Amino acid sequence: MSVVALNHINIAAPAPLLAQVRDFYVDVVGLEDGSRPEMGLKGYWLYAGDAAIVHLMARDTPAAQAGAGYLDHVAFTCTGLEATEHRLTTLGIDYRKNDFPERGFAQLIVRDPTGLGVELNFSLASA
């Protein structure tokens, strides 16, 4: 077996928080809320193009109690650095910017409503 790509990440959160998490990934990260098969519990699939890369599901117990407490962050390759910084500022989202000109990219680091770190990576060639 060889890994060829990241298929998706799954974030489990209490049902009342789930809509906020969805809105964060749609409004801040730029994913699109899309179709999801019936799975017997509330949730959302969020898409980048044709790929459902973020799965959200309702779970009453915190992730740390379910054994996922060491997940630090997820990272996305993005475009539109200046527009993203403007959107984060407009939405009142705190972020940290890391510049790596010698490596040709910059990062914006934010936290989603569950506290998970979200790393947005931008090529400086296309920024």
Residue 74 or 60, more confident: 74
Across 87-101, b (16+ Cβ under 10 Å) vs e yields: ebeeeebebeeeeee
pLDDT in tens, 100-109: 898 898 999 9
Banded model confidence at residue 30, pLDDT cuts 50, 70, 90: very high
Looking at the domain assignment, is residue 3 inside a domain?
no
Average pLDDT over residues 54-65: 75
DSSP string, 63-118: GGGGT-TT--EEEEEES-HHHHHHHHHHHT---EEEEETTTTEEEEEEE-TTS-EE
Looking at the domain assignment, is residue 2 inside a domain?
no
Average pLDDT over residues 22-47: 93
Banded model confidence at residue 63, pLDDT cuts 50, 70, 90: low
Find the CATH number of the domain harbouring 20. Answer: 3.10.180.10
Looking at the domain assignment, is residue 1 inside a domain?
no
- Residue 37's pLDDT is what? 87
What is the tally of structural domains in the chain?
1
Looking at the domain assignment, is residue 97 inside a domain?
yes
Looking at the domain assignment, is residue 52 inside a domain?
yes
User: Domain span at residue 29?
Assistant: 9-63+72-123
Provide the 8-state DSSP code for 10.
E
Looking at the domain assignment, is residue 91 inside a domain?
yes
Looking at the domain assignment, is residue 89 inside a domain?
yes
Looking at the domain assignment, is residue 4 inside a domain?
no
Regarding pTM above 0.85, the answer is no
Residue 72 or 107, more confident: 107
* Of 84, 124, 82, nearest in space to 103 by CA: 124
Residue 74 or 68, more confident: 74
Residue 5 or 110, more confident: 110
